[in-house]
Amino acid sequence: MSSPRMGHSALRAAATTIFAALALILAMGRDSHAESPSSAHAIAMHGEPALPPGFRHLPYADPDAPKGGRIVFGLQGTFDSLNPLVVLGVAPDAVPRYVQQSLLYRSADEPFTAYGLLASRVELNEARTRLAFEIDERARFSDGTPVTADDVLFTFEMLKTKGKPFHRSSLGRVTKAEAPSPRYVVFELGDGSNRELPLVIGAMPIFARHATNADTFGETSFKPALGSGPYLVSEVRPGEALTLKRRKDFWAENHPLMRGLFNADEIRYDFYRDANALFEAFKAGLYDIRLEPDPTRWMTGYDVPAVRDGRIVREALRFQSPKGMTGLVFNTRRPAFADVRVREALGIMFDFEWVNRNLFHGVYRRAGSFFSDSELSALGVPADAREKALLAAFPGSVRDDILAGSWAPAATDGSGRDREQARKALDLLQSAGYELQDGVLRNTRTAEPLAFEITVTNRPQERLALNYAASLGRLGVGVSVRLIDDVQYWRRLSAFDFDMIQWTWPASASPGNEQVGRWGSANADRKGALNYAGVKSPAVDAALQAILAAREREDFVAAVRVLDRALLSGFYVVPLYYLPETWLAHSRDVVLPARKPAYFLATEALARRPASSAPAN
């Protein structure tokens, strides 16, 4: 198999084939589409919105939920800004989530559908080349000023030029934006090939032009944006805490999308230095909601009085979204990892069975896909005609066993010293030009030893990395593990200054533009981008474009599976594991709606139980 990593000349040569392959997959099973715009109350990425016009509230929102009280969230780390939409600074999501609003509001009960919020009406033609919004005449910023189309255009231009790379690249595809009237804004979307773009535009948190300095927008600041949302920032303690209070004059209090949401009178974010301090604070009742990522802590750490007497409630939730991928990432910019056979061999040596049993109480499942536990996963599924059509222009980019659905991550006997897997790994390394000499694996041409560093940022990562390093040491591979602080870690990641890191790629039920940032060739050498592995693959680029251009669900699933197969064939990561459930612990005074969302936890639907109705100890 040829390596998926290619030079710039090869990429340019392959570029002309991408669109031909894309046309093949989109042409299959597709009828002609009218170009006339349609007016609606929502946009769905695929299919139709589940809720009809005039719906009363979101299915998972309880319009009778109690109002009042305070809900406290705990976060690890610190913050030096309130604007998470720009490159500089570290900021929580509080202001865009609670203070600002967007034209559309995404439902947690559908794969990717957004309903009109600031926009009372949305117009989108079938080709998705023209998008228009009519602003709700009731919409007001917190200072009483109406939200206008001019505010939308101002926000669009500001995010396109000074926002994070995601907004810059996505909004940069808009060919024209104008406001024919004060409450009507129109976007021309080029050829319509990025069919997610209307939803990206609809999700922009809208800034008030009259209260925002565009010249300083890209700088860190503790001054919150003026928004139209249900809360105002009432107190900022830099690096320590952030408090928001619910408005009494919120314009959308009775809007169908808002009924049963944003119920607490006060929201507070408290920040803690490290993971242990964060957990101890939760056990002491200092904050209310905790998503538990640590299996050891979930299995053994909650045997405390607050759980036994019911002050803390634990729930295991299941959502329909893909579980994503946690893996050890190869920086393929490093010469040691340039050969795909080396990456595959090193991946074979991860002993999931031993690690899961001895470190994680057996609760994990082995990751073998970037979209695990969903129909989007290619693991164990033979490629269909749509997938083969897209891949026809890129022979050798996907391995035969991955194309056939017969490949799976290496499984061991769980002993921690599986000789058969070690033999397979050594055979691959020898075919790549390495030889074991006096206990050290060396390149037969240069005599350089195969050695690298795993950079970690916390003790659980360090423990896993040390176990993996010991396994590789049996083959004569030299691996060191380096624990660094958060500031150094993020600085090194933004400059791609690492050999290997542990990373988690969450996945939604409707992957789209974020995948371009993670895997697109254009982001492989762009400092600050999220393509940590340095992937440069025409097949991956074609799959990404097919995902964004897919009109029908079948085409979309096929394109995501092609992306999955191409990434798996490149062995850019050592797949680790995923949790089939979401572990939630919360104060008993926090009320979750009886009807849970289908795809992700919507914290906006939480409420605080009135003190008079709190259960006795």
Q: What does the pLDDT read at residue 273?
A: 87
- Give the tens place of pLDDT for each residue, 90-144: 899 999 999 999 999 999 999 999 999 999 999 999 999 999 999 999 999 999 9
CA–CA dist 158, 218 (Å, integer): 9
- Give the tens place of pLDDT for each residue, 293-304: 889 899 999 999
- Give the tens place of pLDDT for each residue, 490-501: 889 989 999 999
Helix, strand, coil fractions of the chain, as percent rounded to 5: 30, 20, 50
How would you classify the pairing of strands 582-587 and 312-317? Answer: antiparallel
Q: What does the pLDDT read at residue 334?
A: 97
Look up residue 2 and give its two tokens. 């040829």
CB-based contact 292:298 (threshold 8 Å) = yes
Ranges of beta strands (E only) in 458-544 are: 478-483, 500-505
Helices (H), 385-496: 385-391, 400-404, 419-431, 459-473, 486-494
- Give the tens place of pLDDT for each residue, 186-199: 999 999 989 999 99
Q: What does the pLDDT read at residue 364?
A: 94
Task: Please give the average per-residue pLDDT across 213-229, as a whole number.
Answer: 95
Mean of the per-residue pLDDT values of the chain? 91
What CATH number has the domain spanning 325-578?
3.10.105.10
Task: Please give the average per-residue pLDDT across 25-31, as a whole number.
Answer: 38
CA–CA dist 534, 341 (Å, integer): 16
- Give the tens place of pLDDT for each residue, 252-280: 999 999 999 999 999 999 999 888 999 99
Q: State the CB neighbour count (10 A cutoff) for residue 261.
A: 24
CB-based contact 152:187 (threshold 8 Å) = no
Q: State the CB neighbour count (10 A cutoff) for residue 69.
A: 18
- What predicted TM-score, i.e. pTM, was given to this entire model? 0.81
Task: Please give the average per-residue pLDDT across 448-452, as a whole number.
Answer: 97
Angle between helices 553-570 and 8-27 (to 10 degrees): 150
CB-based contact 116:137 (threshold 8 Å) = no
CB-based contact 554:386 (threshold 8 Å) = yes
CA–CA dist 168, 178 (Å, integer): 18
Using a pLDDT cut of 90, give the percent of the chain over it.
82
Q: State the CB neighbour count (10 A cutoff) for residue 79.
A: 22
Q: Domain extents for the chain? A: 325-578
Q: How confident is the model at residue 23 (pLDDT cuts 50, 70, 90)?
A: very low
Q: Does residue 11 carry a pLDDT above 90?
A: no
Q: What does the pLDDT read at residue 417?
A: 87
